[in-house]
Amino acid sequence: MNGWTGNILRVNLTAKTYKKETFSEEFARTWIGGRGFAVKILYDELQPGIDPLGPENKLIVALGPIAGIPAPNTGKAVVAAKSPLTGFYGDGNLGTRVSEQLRKAGYDAMIVEGKAEGPTMLYIEDDKVEFLPAGEVWGKGTYATNDWIYAKYGKGVGVLNIGQGGENMVRYAVVRSLEGRSGGRPGMGAVMGSKLLKALVVKGTRPIPQADPQAMKALGFGDLKTVGQIDKETGWSIQGTDAILAWCNEVAGLPVRNFRKTRHADAWKIDGERVNAARVATYGCPNCTMRCGITIHDREGRESELDYENVGLLGSNLEIFDLDQVGSLNYLCDEYGIDTMSAGCALSFYADAIDHGATKGDFKFGDAERAKELLGLAARREGKLGNLLADGSLRMAREFGHGSEAYAMQVKGLDVAAYNCKFIPGQALAFGVAAIGAHHREAWIITFELKNTTRDSYGPEKAAKVIELQRIRGGMFEFLVACRFPWIELGWPLDNYPKYFNAATGLNWTLEDMWKVADRIYALIKLHYLREFPQASRKDDYPPAVWFDKSNVDTEGPIAGKCLDLGKYDRLLQHYYDQRGYDERGIPTKELLNKLGLSKEAAAAEKCAKLSERTSQPQAAR
Amino acid sequence: MKITVKLIGPLIYEAGFSEKAITLPGSVTAGALVARIKIDKKRPTIITRNGASVELSDILEDGDRVVISHIYSGG
Ligand code: SF4
């Protein structure tokens, strides 16, 4: 089977056993890899209702047919599990050498089951798996843990690890890899921690199976150069993603003060120009010639890698406009191994809840020193406050009451990324219907909305754009597995990806074939959701209520007096459902599921909740 | 009339400035303003005036703030 190793490594931490399992060609072609493998395995193997932090949850590390090969931005891996933050399927991708090393070791994915007796590190080298004690670094942060691993095995190995946040099961703890970044926002690090799995180290020595290795080599090295060249010519990585902060501030799309405001006069102090000027070093994931990571010195003199989401949610949204202090908050999140976005939203929600009398406390917007202490309390789950913060904004709101859930900035429990959609309906929809909660990775349509449509329109073209991007960003890039930046930021043509896929597998696929897999994945994630939440309703696809709140409108600037309209949003949501072939609850119909080859999965879902036969609307051509 | 131009991201280094006020004689379109700035015109950009997207043919007004950005895709 070209393009795939055909093997999955299954490790049981309770029994300290492992086995190499094979998968069929049909499984490979139906789910491709990465997110596709993860969603299918977890759907088949997890019982609905299990505790995401119990030993019965499974952690998946999944790669795809172009993961790890020397070609543009292929050094990524998907990590997935039932999420302790959202209660259903959750995943994320991160830059890591595990991508290449696990495939060289002979696997396209691994499944980690059970719970270890004590802190454990898994060492995988080709067919060998060792269960090693990790007590020495339990309680340590991700930087120290990574150093400890490198000292043992050298820097060539692939590493995934967790910090104190994962150990203490902070619901938004991430998996970290110093070879890239962090991944698994919906608590994949907490799942590792719940299994007492501190780290996973992989070394592989075999070639990655490819149909045409020569063609792949020629393509790959040439394109790595091309992408690097385009980046240089366009200057994209001078500021990388940080450039967008200044733009969001101009168009009233920046999160400020727990998303209550959309702009701030001091935003320039933390914008891409300032980040670039403070640059200490540049980082990139494996196989990347764009290298978007910019590090700066934080207030304590440590190197901290900033990108837009971190600066937006730990900076402007907390009204902290000292770049080095934002660097410190970001460093702490990375060191503790917690998601910078959800951590930022938990803190901003807390400050807002105090402001609005929903709770009492001593934290105010702009207080960077107290924010640092609070991150520590959350990562250690220290005291009542630490535990509250560690559970994330939605659970805090449910505890505080007083209507505070309206301004817990999340969808399905996952906190909103750093785009303030108070008056950007299409992007609000993109957050509302993102597969795993409000993640920006799946669809981002703000420039499309502003340039090609009117900002206050709620027409079907916005729903169509969200679907188009979900297929590409949340679908293809997540199952192949590769970083989307060469295409989204540099405009490197999308049809390069089927070319790589075909050179790897010997198949002859087009982008259209990719979209079918993407639709299948989106439908199956929805079934995961339905199994966990049989009462699922379209309201679950609404963005935070505060964006519809007329008393929360901007008083000046480009969107003064404006906010989202609930009735119109609901109609936009219906456009999305109609085009997707989902029913009124936002659940795929049996007709669609059969078409996607998911009738078995549909039957499994019907044990928990009823599926609609078909929609009353004609389905969009697919 | 006086227009403030703000550039975003890589355009700053290409044009050699981040933000400046430009005095223009009489009425000028957004396209004419962009033509005066040293940036690669083939590059896809989004141009906004006072926070809302404009066409190159739109006439600018005194006091407008024009922002020119490379088209971002939200990371
Ligand atoms: S562009 Fe950035 S996120 Fe993507 S592979 Fe390169 S360094 Fe990693």
Domain assignment present for residue A500? The answer is no
Residue closest via CA to ligand 1's atom 8 equals: A285
* Residue A123 phi, psi dihedral angles, 5° rounding: -115, 120
User: For A104-134, how does the pLDDT look when each residue is reduced to its tens digit (9 = 90+)?
Assistant: 999 999 999 999 999 999 999 999 999 999 9
Structural domain boundaries, residue B51? 2-70
Domain assignment present for residue B28? The answer is yes
CATH code of the domain containing A113: 3.60.9.10
Residues 6+ apart with CB under 8 A from A378: A165, A170, A336, A338, A343, A346, A386, A389, A390
Here the tokens at position A178 are 């110093």
Given this model, what pLDDT does residue A621 score? 37
User: For A291-304, how does the pLDDT look when each residue is reduced to its tens digit (9 = 90+)?
Assistant: 999 999 999 999 99
User: For A409-454, how does the pLDDT look when each residue is reduced to its tens digit (9 = 90+)?
Assistant: 999 999 999 999 999 999 999 999 999 999 999 999 999 999 999 9
Mutate which of A285, A294, A481, A488 to test ligand 1's pocket (most atoms within 8 Å of Cβ)? A285
Given this model, what pLDDT does residue B72 score? 76
pLDDT at A618 over 60: no
Given this model, what pLDDT does residue A615 score? 83
Residues 6+ apart with CB under 8 A from A298: A304, A324, A325, A327, A328, A330, A331
User: For A150-206, how does the pLDDT look when each residue is reduced to its tens digit (9 = 90+)?
Assistant: 999 999 999 999 999 999 999 999 999 987 789 999 999 999 999 999 999 999 999
Report CB contact under 8 Å: B51, A557: yes
- DSSP secondary structure, A369-414, as one string: HHHHHHHHHHHHT-HHHHHHHHT-HHHHHHHH-TTGGGGS-EETTE
- Alpha-carbon distance B36 to B24, whole Å? 11
Given this model, what pLDDT does residue A580 score? 98
* Structural domains of chain B, count: 1
Which H or E run contains A437? none
What's the average model confidence in pLDDT over A464-472? Answer: 98
Reported ipTM: the value is 0.97
**A134 with A215: CB under 8 angstroms?**
no
- Alpha-carbon distance A204 to A102, whole Å? 6
pLDDT confidence bin for A617, thresholds 50/70/90: low
Residue closest via CA to ligand 1's atom 7 equals: A284
CA A198 to centroid of chain Cα atoms: 20
What is the nearest CA distance from B74 to chain A, expressed in angstroms?
6
pLDDT at A622 over 80: no
Given this model, what pLDDT does residue B43 score? 84
Give the predicted TM-score (pTM) of the model.
0.97
pLDDT at A571 over 50: yes
pLDDT at A608 over 90: yes
Average pLDDT, chain A: 96
Domain assignment present for residue B75? The answer is no
Per-position b or e across A259-280, b if 16+ CB within 10 A of its CB: bbbbbbeebbbbbbbbbbebee
> Which residue of chain A comes nearest to B40, CA vs CA?
A234
User: For A510-565, how does the pLDDT look when each residue is reduced to its tens digit (9 = 90+)?
Assistant: 999 999 999 999 999 999 999 999 999 999 999 999 999 999 999 999 999 999 99
pLDDT confidence bin for B44, thresholds 50/70/90: confident
Half-sphere exposure (Cβ direction) of A290: Cα atoms closer than 13 Å:
29
* Structural domains of chain A, count: 1
For chain A, give the percent of residues with pLDDT over 70: 99
CATH code of the domain containing B14: 3.10.20.30
Domain assignment present for residue A71? The answer is yes
What's the average model confidence in pLDDT over A277-302? Answer: 96
- DSSP secondary structure, A290-340, as one string: S--EEEEE-TTS-EEEE-HHHHHHHTGGGT---HHHHHHHHHHHHHHTB-H
- DSSP secondary structure, A335-373, as one string: HHTB-HHHHHHHHHHHHHHHHTTSS--S--TT-HHHHHH
Domain assignment present for residue A228? The answer is no
In ligand 1, which atom is closest to the CA atom of A486? Answer: 1
Domain assignment present for residue A504? The answer is no
**A323 with A295: CB under 8 angstroms?**
no
Structural domain boundaries, residue A92? 7-203
